Amino acid sequence: MTTPELARPRGNRRIFGWLHRHPRVKLGALLVVPAGWFGVIYFGSLALLFAYAFWSLDPQTGEVVKQFTLANFQRILEKPVYGTIVIRTVAVAAIVTVVDALIAFPIAYYMARVASPRRRALLFMSILLPLWASYLVKTYAWRILLAPNGPFDWGFKLFGFDGFSDIFGISDLSMTVVFIYIWLPYMILPIYAGLERIPNSYLEASADLGAKGGPTFRRVVLPLAMPALVAGSIFTFSLTLGDYIIPALVSNTQFIGNVVFASQGVAGDIPFAAAYSLVPVGIMAIYLLVARHFGAFDEL
Amino acid sequence: MSQRKGLISAAIVAILAAACSSTSASPAASNGPASQAPASQAVASEPPASAPASETPVATIGPGEGELNLVAWAGYVEDGSNVKEYDWVHPFIAANPDCSKVTVKTADTSDDMYTLMAQGHGTYDGVSASGDASNRLIDRAEVAPIDPAVIPDFKDLTPFLQSPANNTVNGFHYGVSHGWGGNTLMYRTDKFPTPPTSWDAVFDPAKMSAYKGKVTAYNGTIYIADAALYLKTHKPELGITDPYELTQEQFDAAIALLKEQRPFVGKYWISYADEDANFESGASTIGTTWQYQTNALKGENPPIPVEAIVPTEGMTGWSDTWMLSRYAKHPNCMLKWMAWMVTPETQAQVAENFGEAPANPKACAILNTSTKPYAIPNFCDAYHVTDEAFYNAIAFWKTPVRDCGDARGNTCVPYDQWLAAYTDVKG
* pLDDT tens track for B137-157: 998 899 999 999 999 999 999
Q: What is the pLDDT along chain A (300 residues), one digit of tens a residue?
A: 444 555 555 667 888 888 888 888 888 888 888 888 888 888 888 899 999 999 988 766 667 889 999 999 999 999 999 999 999 999 999 999 999 999 999 999 999 989 999 999 999 999 999 898 999 999 999 988 988 888 888 888 888 888 787 778 788 999 999 999 999 999 999 999 999 999 989 989 998 998 888 889 889 999 999 999 999 999 999 999 999 999 999 988 899 999 998 887 657 788 999 999 999 999 999 999 998 888 777 765
The phi and psi torsions of B312 (rounded to 5 degrees) equal -65, -25
Q: Which residues fall within 8 angstroms of residue A300, CB to CB, at 6 or more apart?
A: none
**Pair A206, A218: CB distance under 8 Å:** no
Name the closest residue on chain B to residue A63, using Cα atoms: B25
How confident is the model over B6-63, as pLDDT tens digits? 434 444 333 333 333 333 333 333 333 333 333 333 333 334 445 556 788 888 899 9
Q: How far is A100 from chain B (nearest CA, A)?
A: 27
Mean pLDDT of all residues in chain B? 85
- Look at residues B348, B359, B349, B280 and name the one whose alpha carbon lies nearest to residue B319: B359
Chain B neighbors of A45, CB-CB under 8 A: 19
| Collapsed DSSP state (helix, strand, coil) of residue A67 | coil
pLDDT tier at B93, thresholds 50, 70, 90: very high
Decide if B414 touches A, using CB distance below 8 A. Answer: yes
The answer to whether the Cβ–Cβ distance between B112 and A265 falls below 8 Å is: yes
Task: Write the DSSP string, B323-385.
Answer: EEETT-SSHHHHHHHHHHHTSHHHHHHHIIIII-EES-TTHHHHHHT--STT--TTHHHHTTT
Q: Determine the pLDDT at residue A265.
A: 67
Residue B52 has what pLDDT?
A: 57
d(CA B287, CA A87): 30
Separation CA B351–CA B367 (nearest Å): 8
pLDDT tens digits for B358-385?
A: 999 999 999 988 988 888 878 888 788 8
Q: Min CA distance, B380 vs chain A (Å)? A: 32
**pTM given for the model:** 0.75
Q: What is the pLDDT of residue A171?
A: 86
Q: Do B274 and A249 touch (CB under 8 A)?
A: yes
Please judge whether B416 and A267 are an interchain contact, meaning their C-beta atoms are less than 8 angstroms apart: yes
Q: Residue B290 phi/psi, 5° resolution?
A: -100, 155
CA distance A108 to A115: 10
**Residue pLDDT, tens place only, B301-334:** 889 999 998 898 999 998 999 999 999 999 999 9
Calculate the CA B151 to chain-centre distance. 21
Contact A20, A29 (CB under 8 A): no
- Min Cα separation A289/chain B (Å): 30
Residue B269 predicted with pLDDT over 70: yes
pLDDT band at B2 (very low <50, low <70, confident <90, very high): very low
User: Using 50, 70 and 90 to split pLDDT, how confident is the model at B339?
Assistant: very high
Which ipTM was obtained for this model?
0.75
